Amino acid sequence: MAMSDLSTPKTTSPLLRSSSQLRLSSKLHLSNQFRHLLLPTPLHTSSISKISCSVSQNNQAPVAVQDNGSVKTKKECYGVFCLTYDLKAEEETKSWKKMISIAVSGAAGMISNHLLFKLASGAVFGPDQPIALKLLGSERSIQALEGVAMELEDSLFPLLREVDIGTDPYEVFQDVEWALLIGAKPRGPGMERAALLDINGQIFAEQGKALNAVASPNVKVLVVGNPCNTNALICLKNAPNIPAKNFHALTRLDENRAKCQLALKAGVFYDKVSNMTIWGNHSTTQVPDFLNARINGRPVKEVITDHKWLEEGFTESVQKRGGLLIQKWGRSSAASTAVSIVDAIKSLVTPTPEGDWFSTGVYTNGNPYGIAEDLVFSMPCRSNGDGDYELVKDVEIDDYLRKRIAKSEAELLAEKKCVAHLTGDGIAFCDLGPVDTMLPGEV
């Protein structure tokens, strides 16, 4: 899109014109930050006949007025989307929640290409939750970001009210309530893992500082870019004003893969598998926990009697899933990663089903399992749906699990030493050992 196009006023439907052109113009900041204010065109204006829109005094919240003059949903509604988009003529006009701002870094990348459309569709935060998307990219990807923004525009998502694109995290993260940090440098051929930790660590140190400076003080941060546990640690260390508890590293894809493998082995559909914990690092030292997982509410070991497979084959099948997928598909897992990001967020904004839990990489301080403090480690958590979580305390850890969890813990402690210069812990010393534990295809 030519830059001049961005500032060209959009055409609007007659219905929207009558609502004072509220928030409908596209704006362009001539810094490295481009801003698209999406045209919130009602998809089915014909189906909302006899409803007009007037604008409230703060120029934010028009109220839906019916033909008979009665005002609907006056308090909650925002923007022209006070009007329902449901085709059913008999449906009541819906009210909308207050818009939330979500930052997505690496927004022109493969994972984001799936994720953004799920966010905008309402599949993550719900069908009554308008959102603003703040898209952060690298300098090289700014054109691609414009392309992403155009695709979002053309999708006519009623819930999507704003899209900002930019390359400066201090601008893009302004007031955001969620930050989904996906963008990272891929590992080049022959690149040592220590080098990757340093290169990507610097990105997350800068983004942590930016979140600290300009984001909502209670922003929830989900780090996806690898190595995600240590990147999340770096990020939270650089954001001292944001509660450390608000930072997550994505291990939900591993959880989902583990559930799938157990379901396949047990011959049940995967919704029957619950209480699946991934312990530790998002690497091949991760520990998918079959001891505490359940199938149809029963311990996995009772349902799957092939314990040799559980101990040897299961973990490997989870770890190698990504590599296998690359062999077949020729690219890494972007769609299922995006789905797992959706799952991870939904687990925080909806109450966890009774007796179940989910896995996420979180800050270890105060953990009840004896895992070293000051790491980001995947553990079992529950949420009451308010965006926060509690660690599940009564999980059994036997010798088998303890040994493997200790290995993942040692790996994360070693990674932490490699990035000491980025966490404020002094001079970095990097000795990751001879074994490369990155997940295949996920660097």
Tell me which of 110, 195, 268, 410 binds ligand NAD, using CB under 6 A. Answer: 110
- Distance CA(412)–CA(426), nearest Å, equals 17
Q: Is 307 considered catalytic here?
A: no
Q: Return the residue of 203, 234, 325, 379 that touches ligand NAD, per CB under 6 A.
A: 203
Among the listed residues 24, 83, 253, 379, the single contact to ligand NAD using CB under 6 A:
253
Q: Binding ligand NAD by CB under 6 A: which of 79, 106, 166, 201?
A: 106
Contact 165, 137 (CB under 8 A): yes
Per CB under 6 A, the segment of 82-90, 177-185, 234-242, 290-298 that binds ligand NAD is 177-185
Q: Is 186 in the site for ligand NAD (CB under 6 A)?
A: yes
DSSP label of 294: E
Can you read off the two tokens belonging to residue 385?
Answer: 């749906």
Name the DSSP letter for residue 384.
B
Q: What angle do CA 255, 256, 260 make, to 5 degrees?
A: 115
One of 29, 282, 307, 421 is an active-site residue; which one? 282
* β-sheet with 294-295: strand ranges across: 273-274, 294-295, 298-299
Site for ligand NAD in 403-442 (CB under 6 A): 442
Q: Report in angstroms how near the CB of residue 236 gets to ligand NAD at its nearest.
A: 16
Instruction: Please report how close the Cβ of residue 325 comes to ligand NAD at its closest, in angstroms.
Output: 10
Contact 75, 63 (CB under 8 A): no
| 137, 166, 201, 380: which one binds ligand NAD (CB under 6 A) | 137
Taking residues 111 to 130 in sequence order and writing x for each that binds ligand NAD by CB under 6 A, - otherwise, the string is x-------------------
Tokens of 253: 């894809």
If phi over 0 gives left and psi between -120 and 50 gives alpha, with beta otherwise, what is residue 424? left
As measured in angstroms, the least distance from the Cβ of 35 to ligand NAD is 17
Q: Which two tokens stand for residue 221?
A: 């941060």
288 binds ligand NAD (CB under 6 A): no
Cα 286 to Cα 251: distance, rounded to the nearest angstrom: 9
Backbone angles phi, psi at 208, to 5 degrees: -60, -45
Catalytic residues: 282
Residues of the shown chain interacting with ligand NAD in the complex, contacts defined by CB under 6 A: 105-106, 108-111, 136-138, 140-141, 182-186, 203, 224-226, 228, 250, 253, 282, 332-334, 337, 442-443
